[in-house]
Structure 1
Amino acid sequence: MGKTSLARELGRRLACDGWLFFYVDLEEAVHPEDVVALLAQQLHPVQSLASRLVQAMGRVGRNVEEIGAYEFRLRVRAELDAGNWRRHGETLFEACATEPKRVLVVLDELPIFLLTLLHRQGKEAVDDFLTWLRAMQQNVAGRGLVFIASGSIGLVPLTTRLGIPDRINHLAPFRLRPWDRGACIACFASLASAHELQLEGSVAEAVYDKLGLGIPHHVQSFFAHLRDDAMIGGRTTLNVDAVDRVYRESLLGPWGQTDLMHYDTRLKDALDDRSHRIALELLTETATQGVLTSTARDRLEAQLAALEGDAQGRVAGVLDVLVHDGYLISADRGHVFQSRLLRDWWLARFGRGHEPLEQRTTAGPGEHA
């Protein structure tokens, strides 16, 4: 029920209205050539689109309808190189733009691909790809081809960090908001019905109150842990008195690590090493103290002053990422976690031994001024 599910459901509904829908997962892409090949794979079932690329590339081979989409992708990829991927990518976009039907192309995990490109080829390659992509999207604007770029990490913080935020200024941002209380309770009840389980009293309400925020994946995960607990106990009813125990022992325990570890790993992807360390410090301070105050920020900036020419700017930039990507929100006294589950998990994972920033001198933790 995250961005991927919503994108696919949108595509399904648009297809019912006569659109063509192509979902392209870029997470495995390493080079721009891979992006073009992945798009070609998705377009393969529409012969009028695939044939345009075949005509342009020549050596891909005829009768592409006789091969599968994956083999078509491999053939296309074999013909792409650093000198021709732009031209052939343009061919695909132009084919979509001139298609009689309206077309939606979803480029999912674009930021992950850009990070991979950054690590392998450097900032210039990222700049080059985004500049090309922007030109292509502007060229087909208003001609029946619509794009959605999505990602599990923010595109804005990444391009801002690289100093090229204008490369995506043609895109209109859309943030997926958490569900409200009613939607979470309805989803929980629907999941229980689908699994032929009974709900005792206000168990769905207790789940929402424990999570503190209606992130769809967290609702699904909590349900799965409660379902497993009921099955282990030989029950067909999800009980209210199991909510707190399952939350502490399962969601926050070893079984729940796979559901939440990505909150740490995606920070490593989005930030450089020093900024990642600052993010860990800020989040751990917020988890242990309940709020990240301006005084705590000042202490961290003073601590970093000897390492950073602009410690204040570095901390502010990291905090912007944490807010943009949904870890923290601004509150009366500073910044706090949006999700109670994320705060409790972060506290359990990183809180032990943390020295509150407001109690520190300018020396780092474990050091002496």
Structure 2
Amino acid sequence: MTRLMRYVLILTTGIVIGISLSVASYSPQNPRRTAAAGDLILLHEVIETVETYYVDQLSHEQLVNAAIGGIFNMLDSHSAFLNVEQANDMQSSNRGEYYGFGFELAANKQALIIQTAFPDSPAATAGLQTGDKVLACNQQAVNGNNQQQILEQIKLAAQQKQPIKLQLARGQTRFEVAIKPASIRLHSVQAKLLADNYLRITHFQQDTAQDVQHWLQLWQQPQISGLVLDLRDNPGGLLEQAVAIADMFLDQGVIVATQGRYINANGVFYASAGTQISKVPVVIIINKGSASAAEILTAALHDHQLATVVGETSFGKGTVQSLIPNLYDRSSMIKLTTARYTTPNGKMLDTQGIEPDIKVTSQDGDDSLTMATNIARVGYPVKQDQQFNAAISWIETHNQ
């Protein structure tokens, strides 16, 4: 057989095998793959038809983005498709680097709510507070149908280094602020040596556990008499950081468990032997802005009876998000809710939150508690912080 004939035979055989495999792939023996292929063809035809015949011109990219957006509109507000810039922003935020306005929003059916304003950020400088309701952005009123559009508008303004004007409501008061984006270096841990040691964790980024460990080791000499762990207005962050901090207090037992539909979303995180701190009173302060990883840490220490919780009912975000790279476009990512978590006692916190042992509201203080007196502490700038005062009072009571 000549070399040319051999090549033709090999090529023909390859084509026949390829066709056979294609036919086998879409044969009735593979109904799921056949249905998926049909759905993709249908979606392609819809996009092509609209792109060709719709009265106004729309690009192919616009229609694809609209189709992707339609999928995520069916999911919870924590799931999203992240383009290249958004994916980079998410990863920078996890590293503690951020360019923007310095606030996080939580969406409900009718409104956008300020969940937290990061310390020393443009949002904090402008006076934004947890619980403020966003009524309008750049004169566009917020309603139940355009929340995602408003969020995209805010993100785009940050990316383009443009200021925004927000109309807000705080109780019965309405006001307007103008905010310019800026480069922000997020420090997630603040520590002070007061009457008792005080640690504030604003969020959980890649170096949070390392910073907490640094302060706990520093405070071993002399031995500390108590610890106030302030998680107020902490929106959460990296799950593994909250788990690592909980492990510093626990030497055995469950820290948190996750439950999802795919096998890798199911897991139980256990404490390892040894602790960084033990046999001292610990009080955790939470409020309605404490969410996600902050609730995981709080529940882990509380359920193991290692901490008393003071403050207000927490936010109640009991879901875990994963960042999943796209195989087709590796620079974009999908942020997807992949699991719900349960506390060591088996409780799901989604929409429920953590109820404090000692309820102290930030507005009214805690006049009903005989143990929580208004103690003015030298070195602590907020003299009327009733939640902090309640935490100090509890520690002092249990050190007697």
Q: Provide TM-score, normalisation by structure 2.
A: 0.21
Larger Rg, first or second structure (1 or 2)? 2
Bigger proportion of residues as helix: 1
Bigger proportion of residues as strand: 2
Q: Provide TM-score, normalisation by structure 1.
A: 0.22
